[in-house]
Amino acid sequence: MGESLRGNIVTIRDRDWKLLKSCFDTPGDIKRIDFEQVRPSQITHKMNDIANAHYTLGKAALDDGQVDQAITHFEAALKLDPDFIAAHHALALCYFSQHKLEEARNAVQAALKLDPTYEPALYFLQAIAPQEPKQTQQNAHPIENTEQENRPVQREQTEPPIEEAELNIDKEMQRGLVFLNNKQYPQAEAAFKKVIKASANDATAHYNLAQCYMEMGAYGDAKREADTTLRLQPQYQPAHQLQNTIRFLSKREKQQLLYNKIKRYLLPFAIVVIIVFIAFNMGWFTRLLPEKIPPKLSIDITLEDPNNKNGYIDAGESVRIRLIITNSGSTAKNLQVRVSPKTIGGLRLQIPDRTFSLRKNQFETFRIPIIADSQARTKKVPIKIEVVDKNQIQLATTDFQLNIKSK
């Protein structure tokens, strides 16, 4: 790692020294350290810890869709540890999600330089360049092999064998998975459909397409593909779990749509009700609506004397009091005629006890029979006639005088 600087104190190379020191000097570090008093194993361990921390933060940011922040963390991890193969692969995924294919290819080739058999990088390279010949993959990880270079070049076959066609399907499947993992669902859908077109009974392709549709919110299409998967492979447990998830999400979506529909109609209705309530309490409707006219009753009273017609009630005579009750206001119901006093010495009155109603501009006629005793004495008796409602509220009243004349 380096050479002796003072006594038994060993330092790392100047490049690594400055690199680690810059990491500790950035804002947010816990503390500064004395680099002249640190052993190489401690520094290397610390650099690995920081690189792993950056990688973990980058993965979290990538999962949250914060691609730029993820790139920053992966680059910081590679700055501390250039041989961090997982960070190279993760950086390639970030560039791929930003449609930067050249940067993605360079990052994944950097990973393959460290390990030509690293499967995630191989699958990714096949996914972003599915139509490239095998020579491209050989150039992606330069390994010196003089024996292969000296082999004679075989002639190209005019028709590719069946194994080559199967390899293309595998590549397309890997492309779809890369797109699916990077949340590029339309591209993943297209890739899985190509696989299904080439191999309609591929249960895995139907399952992956169902996952893609579920993430896109197309739950009907997702259910159809999950059902197809189980038809092709009934014991495939992940497809059963996916079916349950689709049912749950579909039900929740319907409930959310119903809730939004109710909210869309109920909220304006609630606002209208609140406005009407406030307006009613503040008397706005009273000002706008025409004022209600109460019942307005009047009583016209006449003494009917068919015998003498002198306006007197003679002793032993029978007469009638005629009442004409007229209403010029709103409708009045459950009305009743009341006469006071109820009894008069020398006279017998038959006061009606029936109830009646009067609409506007309607009248009602009542006749009250009176029989005078033969021994009745001459006198004047004032009476009061009222019209009351069912609550005994007086709506009309008039006074009248009965003139009694003895023989």
Q: What is the largest CA-CA distance in the chain?
A: 164
pLDDT of residue 132: 42
pLDDT of residue 305: 83
pLDDT digits (tens, 9 = 90+) for 301-339: 998 888 877 888 888 888 999 999 999 988 899 999 999
Residue at 92: amino acid letter = A
372 within 8 A of 347, measured Cβ to Cβ: yes
347 within 8 A of 316, measured Cβ to Cβ: no
pLDDT digits (tens, 9 = 90+) for 72-122: 999 999 998 999 999 998 898 888 877 788 888 898 889 899 999 888 888
pLDDT digits (tens, 9 = 90+) for 183-228: 888 888 988 999 999 999 999 999 999 999 999 999 999 999 999 9
pLDDT of residue 131: 41
Exposure string over 226-265, b if 16+ CB within 10 A, otherwise e: bebbbebbeebeebeebbebbeeebeeeeeeeeeeeeeee
Nearest to 400 by CA among 322, 319, 343: 322
Gyration radius (Cα) of the chain, Å: 52
d(C-alpha 271, C-alpha 277), whole Å:
10
Residue at 97: amino acid letter = S
Tokens of 193: 């459909």
Q: Is the pLDDT of residue 149 over 60?
A: no
Three-class secondary structure of residue 3 per DSSP: coil
378 within 8 A of 404, measured Cβ to Cβ: yes
pTM: 0.39
Residue, of 51 and 4, whose pLDDT is higher = 51
Secondary structure (DSSP) of 333-383: EEEEEEEESS-BTTEEE------EEE-TTEEEEEEEEEEE-TTPPPEEEEE
List the domains of the chain with CATH numbers.
Answer: 182-291 (1.25.40.10), 297-405 (2.60.40.770)
**Mean pLDDT rounded to a whole number for the chain:** 78
> How would residue 386 be classed by pLDDT, with cut points 50, 70 and 90?
very high
The whole-number average pLDDT for the span 20-43 is: 49
Torsion of CA 68, 73, 76, 80, to 10 degrees: -160
Percent of the chain with pLDDT over 90: 31
Lowest-confidence segment of 2-16, 120-134, 318-332 by average pLDDT: 2-16
Helices (H), 199-235: 203-216, 219-232
Residues 6+ apart with CB under 8 A from 372: 313, 314, 315, 316, 317, 318, 319, 346, 347, 404
